Amino acid sequence: MADKTQILLRAFLRKCFDSYLLKAIIRESGAHLSRKGRSRHWILIADAAQIATIISAIDNAQQDSWRWLAVLLRQQRERLTHDEILNLVKRNPAISTNQLITMTDCTLAQARQVLDEAEWSD
């Protein structure tokens, strides 16, 4: 099972126009979105593939008030360590270099290194 990341979305509903559509997009990706207690903050729980799906859906929607979430998710995705990327490759051994770069925002050199390492470790 993929490692889930927990992301705090501060003032989620106040920042988004048509937030009900954005919540539907997030839930369609398979990610879990819930309100944090009685506050205005929300918590998104998603893995790397779900985060990539949400980012691409936001970019395709061209809704300006949702851009902050795409930026936040891209920043969160950049924090993946070498071991996390390697675990992703081990779970998906047929993943291509381009798919890995898209999902993790790693460089081409990092993607090739991880794919080679995963191939030789078996």
Token pair in block for residue 94: 């047929």
- Whole-prediction pTM: 0.65
pLDDT tens-digit map of 37-56: 888 888 999 887 888 889 88
Can you give the residue ranges of every domain in the chain?
5-77, 82-121
In whole angstroms, what is the distance from residue 116 CA to residue 29 CA? Answer: 29
Please tell me the predicted confidence (pLDDT) of residue 35: 86
Residue 58 makes CB contacts below 8 A (sequence gap 6+) with 22, 25, 66, 67, 69, 70
Query: What is the mean predicted confidence (pLDDT) over 86-112?
Result: 86
